[in-house]
Structure 1
Amino acid sequence: MLQNLVHYFLHFIAIAGIAYLYDKNNWKKYWLILLATMLVDTDHLLAEPIFQIHRCSINFHPLHSYLAIGIYVLGALFIQHKILKLICIGLCFHMFADGIDCLWNNFG
């Protein structure tokens, strides 16, 4: 129960803080953009079965692969376009939240 609470807090509430830190005047717009990065989870539809409790998403689903994560990190660090940079930051944070779940499943 606590794991789910933490997971969804990170995916929905914590990103509001990221959006606020990114731009205090437009944080609601940027929060919606960060919410849209949740679409990265559409790659879960490629898995068989689609949902499996305690499965670690990191390096299992294509958009959660180490290669994809590397691209997100590079984008967050080097892209200058404000929206694209935010999308990469959101994807990095999403992978962080999913990584917390992986740790929780393996050690919690």
Structure 2
Amino acid sequence: MDGSYDLLRTLVHYSGHFLVPFVLARLLFPKEIWLKAALVMVATIVIDVDHLLADPIFDPNRCSIGFHPLHTLWAGVVYVGLVLVPDWRARAFGLGALFHLAVDANDCFMGGTF
């Protein structure tokens, strides 16, 4: 891959994890709690703790989706369940985790590993 494409891939990936959740929260949550919801959504980066189980811990050519335990279909089902819980915190976490999976899937697609 050419360096500028790798830079684009990295920018898309990390802005998806750390910036887009603020836009989503502003659109989907009431104005009184959207910022808190956004911070909860950004906090779903914690699901990347499952990368510590892999060797090597970070491999830019490995697709996280389906490889790491918190990046599987079954984890996604749990995240959907959280969206259905009638509490904004659970919904924000579930939505953030699902968006996290979408961002990682896009990274796999852009990296040619999906």
Q: Are 2:14 and 1:8 aligned?
A: yes
User: Given residue 51 of structure 1, which amino acid in structure 2 is its aligned partner?
Assistant: F
Runs of 4+ in 1 over 6 A off after TM superposition: none
Match of 2:77 in 1: 70
**Do residues 88 (structure 1) and 97 (structure 2) align?**
no
Percent identity, aligned pairs only, is 40
Q: What RMSD, in angstroms, separates the aligned Cα atoms of the two structures?
A: 1.3
Secondary structure of the equivalent of 2:32?
coil
Gaps of 5+ in 2: 1-6
Q: How do residues 1-108 of structure 1 correspond to structure 2 at under 5 angstroms? A: 1-21=7-27, 22-76=29-83, 78-106=84-112
Q: CA deviation at 1:100?
A: 0.2
2:19 match: secondary structure:
helix
TM-score, normalised to structure 2's length?
0.86
Q: Which runs of 5+ in 1 are unaligned?
A: none
| Cα deviation 1:11-51 (Å, max 9, x = unaligned) | 11110011112222322222211111110001101101101
Aligned residues: 106
8 Å CA contact retained: 2:64, 2:108: yes
